[in-house]
A and B are shown apart, each in its own frame.
Chain A
Amino acid sequence: MRWPSRRAGLLVGAIVLGLFIVLPFIGLHVPWVLPGTLDIVNSTGTLEVLALCFMFAGVAVGYDMMFGYTGLMSLGPVLYFAVGTYVFDIALTHWGWSLFPSLLVTFGVSLVLAVVLGAIALRVHGIAFAMVTLAFAQAFYFLVESNPHNLTGGDTGLSLSYTRMPSFLSGAVSNTRNLYWVALAFLVVAYLIVWLVTESVTGHVFVAIRENELRLDVLGVRPYRFKLVSFVVSSLIATGGGIVYILVIGTAVPSVVASTTVTLSILIMVVLGGAGTRWGAVVGAMVYVYLQQYLDKVGAEPTFTRLPAVLRVPLSEPQFLLGAIFVLFVFFAPGGIAGLVVRRRFRRASAATLLSAFQGLRKGGGG
């Protein structure tokens, strides 16, 4: 049996998307499972969490193109995410620019950074590449933390000024519904971009690079440029995510938006969902972010605080639970959620992805 066929997949995707589009109009009362404080589906709290889910899902699918499809394990996507958050925030808040110039300069800065730093980092392979991207991202973290010219606000963070924002987006609380749709739109755009790229000839070269880079070299294809394209497009998507983040949350704090934790979370989302499958990354991110927020809420509830410490401490700590779930997945379901759902088709691809992302890692070194 060959399912889901492409058409069935599209259908499921379209139905889910349609449901999410109309969700803010549904005032359904659902006990227990919602992350917001109210048990109502379209409450502000729940919509905000879902917006975060969409935002990370977009970033994750962009990362999947680089990691899952091209086999590049970058440990620096947070850099481009944080560039999105901070440059956009600074342009609006400090420079008083309006929305579109701010968007333009944010993507411009991200593009230049991704091309330059990507070009440098891709000179090395495998683990060295991972480390260099990690180090660049960390440098940006230090930079943001140091609050140069009082631009970033350092550890206390930088709140977004809404004065120049179009009215339908201004104010994180009053326009949660609109921001929810913005985040959803971002996810759709990110997904379409990744879809178009991965289904194109360029995308096939990505997979060929992942499978066997040396062989491509022999065929006369220069993998370097393709890897750079994958890196840059993925980075720009992360920047879009950063912009959506600051719109939804309204404040940028280095430890939350610029630290390596964000990178590791993105990596975990993609692996949890199933690397190299696109929709797996989306599902992985949604599940991860939703659980994170939900467990945070549940952990503080009185039912939990009454438990003995042996149970209470681990169960009320989302970071522990997510880490443990992730460990179990890597052990027992290395193909991620996608691998569990569609065993036959994806298992091989995902296992191959994981292995091949590592191919030549030990070879390391100069390009």
Chain B
Amino acid sequence: MNIFLVLTFSGVALGAIYFLAASGLSLIYGLMDVLNFAHGLFMTLGAYAGYEIATRLPSSLGAPTLVILAIIGATVVGALAAGVTELILIRPLYGKPISQILITIGLDLAGVGLLMGGFGSTALQIPVPLWLIEPTHIGGLYLPNASFLAIGAGVLVLIGLEMFLALTRYGIIIRAGVENREMVRALGIDVGRAFTLVFVIGGAMAGLAGILYTIVFSGDLVSPNQGDSLLIFAFIVVVIGGLGSIRGSAVAALAVGLLQQYTSFYIGGHSGWAQIGDLSTVLLLAVVLEWRPRGLFGRVA
């Protein structure tokens, strides 16, 4: 039972990171039809930005401050990278969605290549405070502190995003645009600004996801390809949740995170088949698509 609860806890933490990675992708796709392969790059950039901040700034600031600055820095760098990408590479190709997808593939390739050249292919270690590595003892359970960080960030972002989408004018424009971009234009609204905004928001969440994944699940290690492997799961989450739906992403991220933790422990742990956790997420995708081709929260035709 205890193990089950611990697995649930880390499954929720993993789900929180998947949510951060997937919701931006989902919004970008929903609004602009762009399947953004560069999202993996944004995540990796966030993680490397965090690494640079945590290692370059004077350690006299103290490890907790450094980690907080690293997380903020990762988010900002992700947002900037995505914003610049939208303005320079995506914007000139409006109306050519396939070209936009191809551009993001090329950008991801080039960006990851550059990171490999600059930082090397081997993983780098981010120094983190001891507190993040230690577990908290609650009701007989030892729960890793880093997971609290991921869950907290995931919940805050979910609430913030929902409020933004429900209450602000731009939020409403984005929701309307996901439903029917043409009609938004036909009301005299320049959707282009919403596109940039959605990229910036998505990039910020990607950067955050990148650094949190590093801290929570990869033993504080940063490597050039980590974003791309995370991206695969983000894609799976987006399709299960329904393209364009934030709530769908949240539910699907949770489901995928939990399933992955349970199966890799209960099945993988006994059979020694560690990848069963990863494999199960693809099976879940296949099942969901057979049952609901548009995903859990996808729009009906």
Contact = CB atoms under 8 A, between A and B. Distances in A.
A327 B114 contact: no
Given A120-B290, A135-B286, A145-B275, A327 B96 contact: no
Interface in A136-152: 136, 138-139, 142-143, 145-146, 148
A101 interface: no
A139 B282 contact: yes
Contact of B298 (A317, A357, A365): A365
Interface stretch (B97-105, B141-149, B163-171): B97-105
Contacts of A131: 235-236, 238-239
B279 A143 contact: yes
A361 interface: yes
Contacts of B110: 319-324, 326-327
Interface string A335-367: 000000000000000000011011001111111
Interface in B240-274: 243, 273-274
A321 B89 CA distance: 17
A146 B105 contact: no
A334 B99 contact: yes
B153 to A, nearest CB: 26
B301 A365 contact: yes
Contacts of B114: 313-314, 317, 320
B235 A134 contact: yes
B108 A327 contact: no
Contacts of B132: none
B275 A358 contact: no
Contacts of B105: 264, 267-268, 326
A358 B113 CA distance: 28
A132 B102 CA distance: 18
B239 A135 contact: yes
The secondary-structure label for the interface of chain A is helix
A327 B283 contact: no
Interface stretch (A121-129, A160-168, A190-198): A121-129
B113 A317 contact: yes
A109 B5 CA distance: 41
A202 interface: no
A300 B10 CA distance: 43
Nearest to A154: B275
B208 interface: no
Contacts of B290: 120, 123
B225 to A, nearest CB: 9
Nearest to A121: B289
B152 interface: no
B135 interface: no
B47 to A, nearest CB: 18
Interface of B is mostly: helix
B127 interface: no
A258 interface: no
B293 A330 contact: no
A146 B275 contact: yes
A3 interface: no
A365 B116 CA distance: 38
Interface string B15-48: 0000000000000010001010100000000000
A293 interface: no
B235 A317 contact: no
A361 B93 CA distance: 17
B285 A132 contact: yes
Q: Residue among B29, B33, B109 with the most chain A CB within 10 A?
A: B109
B235 A135 contact: yes
A317 B111 CA distance: 11
B276 interface: yes
A320 B41 CA distance: 13
Interface string B106-142: 1111111110111000000000000000000000000
A216 B94 CA distance: 28
A316 interface: yes
B188 interface: no
A331 interface: yes
A361 B109 contact: no
A264 B293 contact: no
B248 to A, nearest CB: 14
Contacts of A120: 286, 290
Contact of B117 (A260, A313, A322): A313
Given A124-B289, A135-B235, A366-B294, A319 B279 contact: no
Contact of B282 (A135, A320, A334): A135
B96 A323 contact: no
Given A146-B276, A327-B107, A364 B243 contact: yes
B98 A73 contact: yes
Given A354-B98, A361-B33, A365-B293, A331 B92 contact: yes
A120 to B, nearest CB: 7
Contacts of A268: 102, 105-106, 109
A-B interface, 5 closest residue pairs, ranked by CB to CB distance from nearest:
A323-B110, A319-B113, A320-B113, A323-B109, A146-B275
Given A131-B235, A358-B97, A364-B243, 8 more contacts: A128-B294, A135-B286, A146-B279, A323-B111, A327-B107, A354-B98, A354-B99, A365-B294
17 contacts: A120-B286, A128-B239, A131-B235, A135-B239, A260-B232, A264-B105, A267-B105, A319-B112, A320-B117, A323-B109, A326-B109, A327-B106, A330-B102, A358-B33, A358-B97, A365-B293, A366-B301
